[in-house]
């Protein structure tokens, strides 16, 4: 076999294989795009985005005044979105028919009020006609997330996150 015939055969093989390689490359790129977009695809418009209190953390010096600019981009992207967050209902005197409560990170210590981290609580106002009952067990609250600072009588922030509650489970 001569060199020219071998080169021609290799060129013919490469040209014949090019469409197959293009299809394979397209499939691999498509698979990569689907893999990377999975979190976005899983988040359909009707389904809430699962969020933890860790997602709501931001840098803040102890004793410093809250400023909206302290919030991370991740937190700002949650504003107006339907989320689901797990936590504990801060105890109050009311046991049933609760339409407003504070959801806290854990039940080991009070995470609401002076000295507590602002990102460890969410004020929940249940939507009209809905309520919940107190429980010592963790609950998952679904609703629309907003940043709505709540100040105490001394003018200090006690909470900054708000949820219009749709459901408590």
Q: Kindly give the confidence (pLDDT) of every residue in the chain, 169 residues in length, as a single tens digit, with 9 standing for 90 and above.
A: 554 554 445 445 444 555 544 444 444 444 444 444 445 444 556 899 999 999 999 999 887 899 999 999 999 999 999 999 999 999 889 999 999 999 999 876 555 544 568 999 999 999 999 999 999 999 999 999 999 999 999 988 999 999 999 999 9
Give pairs for 95-100: CB < 8 Å, separation 24+.
Answer: 95/133, 95/134, 96/131, 96/133, 96/134, 97/131, 97/133, 98/126, 98/131, 98/132, 98/133, 98/134, 99/125, 99/126, 99/130, 99/131, 100/124, 100/125, 100/126
Nearest to 126 by CA among 162, 160, 93: 162
What is the chain's length? 169
Report how far residue 166's alpha carbon sits from residue 169's, in angstroms, rounded to the nearest whole number.
Answer: 10
Environment class of 140 (CB within 10 Å of its CB; exposed 0-12, middle 13-18, buried 19+): middle
Report how far residue 110's alpha carbon sits from residue 103's, in angstroms, rounded to the nearest whole number.
Answer: 11
Cα 161 off chain centre by = 13
54: Cβ contacts below 8 Å, ≥ 6 apart: none
- Model pTM score: 0.71
Which residues are registered as beta bridge partners of 98? 132
51: Cβ contacts below 8 Å, ≥ 6 apart: 78, 83, 84, 85, 145
């Amino acid at each position: 076999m001569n060199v020219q015939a071998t080169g021609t055969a290799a060129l013919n093989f490469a040209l014949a294989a090019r469409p197959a390689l293009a299809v394979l490359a397209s499939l691999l790129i498509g698979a990569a795009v689907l893999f990377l977009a999975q979190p976005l695809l899983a988040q359909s418009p009707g389904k809430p985005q699962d969020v933890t209190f860790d997602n709501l953390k931001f840098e803040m010096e102890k004793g410093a005044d809250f400023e909206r600019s302290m919030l991370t981009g991740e937190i700002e992207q949650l504003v107006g979105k339907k989320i689901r967050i797990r936590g504990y209902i801060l105890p109050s005197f009311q046991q049933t028919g609760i339409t407003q409560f504070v959801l806290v990170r854990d039940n080991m210590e009070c995470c609401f009020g002076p000295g507590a981290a602002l990102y460890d609580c969410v004020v929940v106002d249940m939507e009209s006609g809905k309520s919940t009952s107190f429980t010592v067990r963790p609950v998952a609250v679904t609703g629309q997330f907003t940043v709505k600072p709540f100040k105490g009588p001394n003018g200090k922030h006690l909470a900054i996150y708000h949820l219009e509650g749709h459901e408590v489970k």
